Amino acid sequence: MSASQQEPWTVLRLLEWTTDFFKKKGSDSPRLDAEVLLAHARNCTRIELYTAFGEEPGEEQRIAFREMVRRRGEGTPVAQLVGYREFYSLRFRVDDSVLIPRPETEHLVIEALDFAKASGVTDRPLQIADIGTGSGAIAVAVAKNFANCEVTAVDRSASALKIATWNAEQHGVSDRVTFLESDLLAAVDAPAQFDIICTNPPYVSDSEYDELSPTVRDHEPKTALVSGPLGTEIIQRIIQEVPPRMHSGGWLIIELSPMIAEACGQIAKDSEHFADQHFIKDLEGHKRILSVQRC
């Protein structure tokens, strides 16, 4: 038996071996993936792993960890293995019926909260919509961080709405967030008009979809990602359909891909209903969020 086979499988050794394994499997964040999975198997936080490097996890924990490592190696996203993802410092339950919330979407939440605070509306709850709510990440994060608002969150997917409803309950905002199965705002009767409409809609083109990493393509719902041949189709519909549902001066905030940013900006400019517009760039300097103001 070689010396390395005799070495005990401590927390540190498990992390190092697994990081190396995930690196070979092409993960973008091998160490982080290993830490999140081992912390989940040990029912502790990632930080707590750092004070337990020399400990040997018991057989039960190692079996649970090994199974998650195997599935991660086959491409299953870490968030689906542990059942949640942190977004805007809140924990959101996820499964394969919802898009896993992405860090870039936090820019959209910040923008919505900035507009909410600047609105000066105090005599009534600010009316906010979230089109394509998925796990409820945007709707819940906004409601949690801005007390004087009511959020109407829609999705075409009934299974996504179940997850979103659970997340809103967990974060204590279900009295101010209403979930509805709807194609954009078609099934929303009230309120008649919104102050802010947020959306992270599907914006991947058919050809881009074929190029996505298998971790995304094989595990997250296609209906959450793909818009059509161009990628702009659903955003175009939103820009065309929502103006009657917005207060004058209200903001429509759209997450998009940098590839279609200019095209979407032009669609909004061509609309007679929107005046001011600006982009917010992500941490890599790419245009990610388009905000347009209703005339």
Binding residues: 132-136, 155, 200-203
* Least CB distance to ligand SAM at residue 200 (A): 4
| Interacting span for ligand SAM (CB under 6 A) from 23-31, 156-164, 189-197, 256-264 | 156-164
First and final C-alpha spacing in the chain: 76
From the list 116, 177, 188, 224, which residue makes contact with ligand SAM (rule: CB under 6 A)?
224
Task: Using CB atoms within 10 Å of the CB of residue 229, give its burial: 0 to 12 exposed, 13 to 18 middle, 19+ buried.
Answer: exposed
Residue 154 touches ligand SAM, criterion: CB under 6 A: yes
| Interacting span for ligand SAM (CB under 6 A) from 14-22, 39-47, 97-105, 117-125 | 97-105
C-alpha–C-alpha distance, residues 108 and 253, integer Å: 7
* Least CB distance to ligand SAM at residue 158 (A): 10
> In degrees, to the nearest 5, what angle opens at C-alpha 112 toward C-alphas 213 and 151?
95
**Of 157 and 205, CB closest to ligand SAM:** 157
Residue 231 touches ligand SAM, criterion: CB under 6 A: no
Main-chain phi, psi angles of 7, to 5 degrees: -60, 140
Q: CB of 72 within 8 A of CB of 41?
A: no
Residue 57 touches ligand SAM, criterion: CB under 6 A: no
DSSP codes joined into one string, 178-240: EEEE-STTTT--SSS-EEEEEE----EEHHHHHHS-HHHHTTS-HHHHEEESSS-HHHHHHHH
**Of 22 and 203, CB closest to ligand SAM:** 203
| Beta-bridge partner residues of 93 | 84
C-alpha–C-alpha distance, residues 35 and 68, integer Å: 12
Residue 184 touches ligand SAM, criterion: CB under 6 A: yes
Residue with tokens 């393509």: 217
* Least CB distance to ligand SAM at residue 65 (A): 27
From the list 30, 57, 134, 231, which residue makes contact with ligand SAM (rule: CB under 6 A)?
134
**Of 81 and 138, CB closest to ligand SAM:** 138
* Least CB distance to ligand SAM at residue 109 (A): 9
Enumerate binding residues for ligand SAM (CB under 6 A).
99, 101, 105, 131-135, 137-138, 154-157, 160, 183-184, 200-202, 223-224, 234
